[in-house]
């Protein structure tokens, strides 16, 4: 799914897949899957795996399944299943009727496990968790074989069946693969295949009290679904030999071998100014540092959605960061670039004043108003035009006026003429101040001949300001977001907790005045506030109060000039 006319991605995984197709492997078939565990909400890190799996399949004309890896009932919940489905769909992917659950394969897995026991390739171990851990050895020392390792297959089979039947309490026995306790790859030191857990499963209820471990289950799930290319992240590279061992062990002596998927691993990525783990998100939510899993500052998919990120932008971003095996940290600016790229093309423009300063147009008749034509989106002619009301009293942005402007400030100042977008040229005659010296009102004159925004005599102005008519403006709450973390790499320093880097100013709320066309907008509606940025109507919006989230600012040259001045 190329969404932006970029050349189709080419990376080491796609090359492998292309080679397989060319060689006729798997009958030329390509079938992938995205296999989340329903134990939390998806974040932008998952979006990479989603885009790769669904993307590769689509590019090669094959299907991609959505499969829940629900093998651990103590951590998984239906709520997460529903949320993940919603998020993957929002990201723009479709799995037709191929929504699967690992738990639906429990019976088949169990059958294969019994076969391995009968073949002497797996055994029931009575050791405690501590004993097993102690006997596993270390990175440099081999492990020690369990005293139960060589008990008769019939005895293990009996015990395994009784494990399933619920005769034993949690933690008393496990089923282990009989591989090699001295293997240099620790994953192959007689890994556990089943543990006893008397817990209700979100989908299986109390049908089971033994549950398969990920390593045993995952390859089998892929096998059952006929997955050709199991694409996952790098930390599972060490596990691949085990998946291969399991499939080979099942197929050993079998007339009709089960399908043997091949796994390929790619690197996850980090994003500057954020964290990327369910554990950390959970902590921020539970400790109240953010409002919830969908807080617009969070890079959960729900957070990004509420923030106003278009799914297309996230997909483009994933395409831009590519696929490799290198640990990477992507600049947040690239994500913002992708967001602006699609929002610039698609967002209706609208005028809103975030920090209102009152302007009285002294030569405009009192009580009069008129409607002016405004272009909805200069990047999209089909978006048409709308009417914007104008009157004697207006609001402009406080930042757009300076009583004593520096050289490069082009906007309004005493005696200076600027354009009000789509309206008139106005000239500032006087700045009215309160007792404290704060400017509270501007008294300006307008040139009736410049209606619509152009001067018949051809004279130019240096600046165009956005504005709203005071009589027609609608009040709105606008939530301005900054980086959640002050550091590019939260927690990068020794002994520092990532929460130490929380930005205390990541959320600022202002009372704004917006043009009346915004009244009644539907939640999640994305717009551009001219000259300010992209905004999205928050679902907290009520009939009484509009609430907007700032998705991101526009690129702002003036802000850059100011910043340079400050730094200098």
Partner RNA sequence: UGGGGAAUGGUGCAAUUGGUAGCACGCCUGACUCUGGAUCAGGAAGUUGGGGGUUCGAGUCCUCCUUCCCCAGCCA
Angstrom distance (rounded) from CA 470 to CA 360: 10
Q: Verify binding: residue 382, RNA, rule CB under 7 A.
A: no
495 token code pair: 């002994």
Selected binder of RNA within 531, 548, 550, 552 (CB under 7 A): 531
Q: Beta 122-125 vs 229-233: how paired, if at all?
A: unpaired
Q: Verify binding: residue 508, RNA, rule CB under 7 A.
A: no
Selected binder of RNA within 214, 251, 262, 507 (CB under 7 A): 214
Angle between helices 214-224 and 106-118 (to 10 degrees): 110
Is 136 designated active site? no
Instruction: Give the x-and-dash track for 452-481 against RNA (CB under 7 A).
Output: xxx-----x--xx-x---------------
Closer to RNA by Cβ: residue 295 or 351: 351
Subset of residues 187 to 206 that bind RNA, contact rule: CB under 7 A: 187, 192, 195-197
Going by C-alpha positions, the residue among 221, 437, 316 that lies closest to residue 2 is 316
Minimum separation from the CB atom of position 251 to RNA (A): 23
Q: Beta 356-361 vs 464-465: how paired, if at all?
A: unpaired
Per rule CB under 7 A, count of chain residues that contact RNA? 93
Instruction: Give the x-and-dash track for 360-379 against RNA (CB under 7 A).
Output: -----------------xxx
Selected binder of RNA within 78, 118, 150, 324 (CB under 7 A): 324
Is 530 designated active site? no
Selected binder of RNA within 340, 416, 479, 526 (CB under 7 A): 340
Q: Verify binding: residue 238, RNA, rule CB under 7 A.
A: yes
Minimum separation from the CB atom of position 130 to RNA (A): 8
Selected binder of RNA within 2, 393, 410, 471 (CB under 7 A): 410
Element (H, E) at 562: helix 557-567
Give CA 447 to chain center in angstroms. Answer: 49
Selected binder of RNA within 29, 119, 136, 358 (CB under 7 A): 136
Q: Verify binding: residue 331, RNA, rule CB under 7 A.
A: yes
Selected binder of RNA within 99, 165, 327, 449 (CB under 7 A): 327
Minimum separation from the CB atom of position 327 to RNA (A): 5
């297309």: which residue's tokens? 312
Instruction: Give the x-and-dash track for 2-41 against RNA (CB under 7 A).
Output: --------xxx--x---------------------x----
What are the Cα distances from residue 502, in Å, to 134, 274, 277, 289?
A: 39, 10, 16, 9
Instruction: Give the per-residue SS3 of 457-500.
Output: CCCCCCCEECEEECCCCEEEEEEEECCCECCCCCCCCCCCCHHH
Closer to RNA by Cβ: residue 281 or 295: 281
Closer to RNA by Cβ: residue 295 or 301: 301
Minimum separation from the CB atom of position 450 to RNA (A): 8
Is 278 designated active site? yes
Q: Verify binding: residue 53, RNA, rule CB under 7 A.
A: no
Selected binder of RNA within 174, 359, 361, 396 (CB under 7 A): 174
Closer to RNA by Cβ: residue 186 or 519: 186
Going by C-alpha positions, the residue among 426, 466, 453, 461 that lies closest to residue 442 is 426
Q: Verify binding: residue 215, RNA, rule CB under 7 A.
A: yes
Name the 3-class secondary structure at 6.
Answer: coil
Q: Beta 439-446 vs 425-433: how paired, if at all?
A: antiparallel
Q: Verify binding: residue 560, RNA, rule CB under 7 A.
A: yes
Q: Is 444 exposed, middle or buried (0-12, 13-18, 19+ CB in 10 A)?
A: buried
- From 316-324, 383-391, 429-437, 439-447, give the range in contact with RNA by CB under 7 A: 316-324
Minimum separation from the CB atom of position 197 to RNA (A): 7
Hey, which bits of 262-348 come out as E strands? 262-266, 269-271, 328-330
Name the 3-class secondary structure at 211.
Answer: strand
Q: Verify binding: residue 58, RNA, rule CB under 7 A.
A: no
Angstrom distance (rounded) from CA 250 to CA 285: 44
Closer to RNA by Cβ: residue 483 or 528: 528
Selected binder of RNA within 151, 161, 289, 325 (CB under 7 A): 325
Minimum separation from the CB atom of position 540 to RNA (A): 26
* DSSP structure class, residue 172: S
Minimum separation from the CB atom of position 543 to RNA (A): 29
- From 90-98, 135-143, 437-445, 495-503, give the range in contact with RNA by CB under 7 A: 135-143
- Candidates 119, 136, 149, 268; catalytic one: 268
Q: How many other C-beta atoms are found inside a 10 Å radius of the C-beta of residue 565?
A: 10
Selected binder of RNA within 5, 23, 27, 138 (CB under 7 A): 138
Selected binder of RNA within 294, 295, 530, 538 (CB under 7 A): 530
Going by C-alpha positions, the residue among 400, 387, 389, 406 that lies closest to residue 359 is 400
In the Cβ-directed half-sphere of 553, how many Cα atoms lie within 13 Å?
Answer: 13
Selected binder of RNA within 235, 252, 430, 505 (CB under 7 A): 235
Q: Is 398 exposed, middle or buried (0-12, 13-18, 19+ CB in 10 A)?
A: middle
Instruction: Give the per-residue SS3 of 58-124.
Output: HHCCCCEEEEECCCCCCCCCHHHHHHHHHHHHHHCCCCCCCEEEHHHHHHHHHHHHHHHHHCCCEEE
Subset of residues 269 to 288 that bind RNA, contact rule: CB under 7 A: 269
Subset of residues 60 to 119 that bind RNA, contact rule: CB under 7 A: 69, 71-72, 75
Angstrom distance (rounded) from CA 477 to CA 353: 11
Minimum separation from the CB atom of position 61 to RNA (A): 22
Subset of residues 411 to 450 that bind RNA, contact rule: CB under 7 A: 411, 419, 421-422
Angstrom distance (rounded) from CA 529 to CA 355: 13
- From 89-97, 109-117, 133-141, 499-507, give the range in contact with RNA by CB under 7 A: 133-141
Q: Verify binding: residue 307, RNA, rule CB under 7 A.
A: no
- What are the catalytic residues? 37, 268, 278
């Amino acid at each position: 799914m190329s969404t932006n006319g970029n050349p189709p991605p080419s990376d080491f995984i796609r090359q492998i897949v292309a080679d397989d197709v060319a060689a006729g492997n798997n009958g030329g078939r390509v079938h992938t899957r995205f296999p989340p565990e329903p134990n939390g909400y998806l974040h932008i890190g998952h979006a990479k795996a989603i885009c790769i799996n669904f993307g590769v399949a689509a590019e090669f004309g094959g299907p991609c399944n959505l499969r829940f890896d629900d093998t651990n009932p103590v951590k998984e919940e239906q709520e997460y299943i529903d949320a993940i489905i919603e998020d993957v769909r929002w990201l723009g992917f479709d799995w037709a009727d191929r929504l699967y659950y690992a738990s639906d394969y429990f019976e088949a897995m169990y059958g294969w496990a019994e076969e391995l026991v009968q073949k002497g390739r797996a055994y029931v171990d009575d050791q405690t968790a501590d004993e097993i851990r102690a006997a596993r050895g270390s990175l440099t020392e081999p492990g020690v074989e369990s005293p139960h390792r060589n008990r008769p297959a019939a005895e293990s089979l009996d015990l395994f069946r009784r494990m399933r039947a619920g005769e034993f309490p949690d933690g008393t026995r496990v089923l282990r693969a009989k591989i090699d306790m001295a293997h240099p790859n620790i994953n192959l030191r007689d890994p556990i295949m089943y543990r006893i857990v008397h817990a209700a499963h979100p989908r299986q209820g109390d049908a089971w009290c033994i549950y398969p471990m990920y390593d045993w289950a995952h390859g089998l799930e892929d096998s059952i679904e006929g997955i050709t290319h199991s694409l996952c992240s790098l930390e599972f590279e060490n596990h691949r030999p085990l998946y291969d061992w399991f499939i080979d062990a099942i197929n050993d002596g079998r007339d009709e071998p089960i399908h043997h998927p091949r796994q390929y691993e790619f690197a996850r990525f980090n994003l500057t100014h954020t964290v990327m783990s369910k554990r950390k998100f959970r902590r921020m939510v539970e400790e109240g540092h953010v409002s919830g899993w969908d807080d617009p500052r969070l890079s959960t998919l729900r957070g990004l959605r509420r923030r106003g990120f278009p799914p297309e932008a996230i997909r483009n971003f994933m395409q831009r960061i590519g696929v490799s095996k290198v640990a990477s940290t992507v600049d947040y600016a690239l994500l913002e670039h992708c967001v602006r790229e699609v929002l610039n093309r698609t967002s209706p423009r609208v005028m809103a004043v975030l920090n209102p300063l009152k302007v009285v147009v002294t030569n405009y008749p009192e009580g009069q108003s008129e409607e002016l034509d405004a272009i909805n989106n200069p990047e999209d002619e089909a978006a048409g035009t709308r009417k914007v009301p104008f009157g004697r009293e207006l609001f402009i942005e406080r930042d757009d006026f300076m009583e004593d402007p520096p050289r490069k400030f082009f906007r309004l100042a005493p005696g200076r003429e600027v354009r009000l977008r789509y309206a008139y040229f106005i000239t500032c005659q006087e700045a009215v101040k309160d007792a404290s010296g704060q400017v509270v009102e501007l008294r300006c004159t307008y040139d009736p001949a410049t209606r619509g925004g152009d001067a018949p005599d051809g004279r130019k102005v240096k600046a165009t300001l956005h504005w709203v008519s005071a009589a027609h403006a609608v009040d709105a709450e606008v939530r301005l977001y900054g980086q959640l973390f002050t550091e590019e790499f939260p927690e990068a320093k020794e002994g520092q907790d990532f929460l130490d880097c929380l930005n205390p100013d990541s959320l600022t709320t202002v009372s704004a005045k917006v043009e009346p066309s915004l009244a009644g907008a539907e939640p999640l509606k994305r717009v551009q506030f001219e000259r300010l940025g992209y905004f999205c109507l928050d679902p907290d919006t009520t009939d009484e109060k509009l609430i907007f989230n700032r998705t991101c600012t526009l690129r702002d040259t003036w802000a850059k000039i100011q910043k340079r001045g400050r730094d200098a």
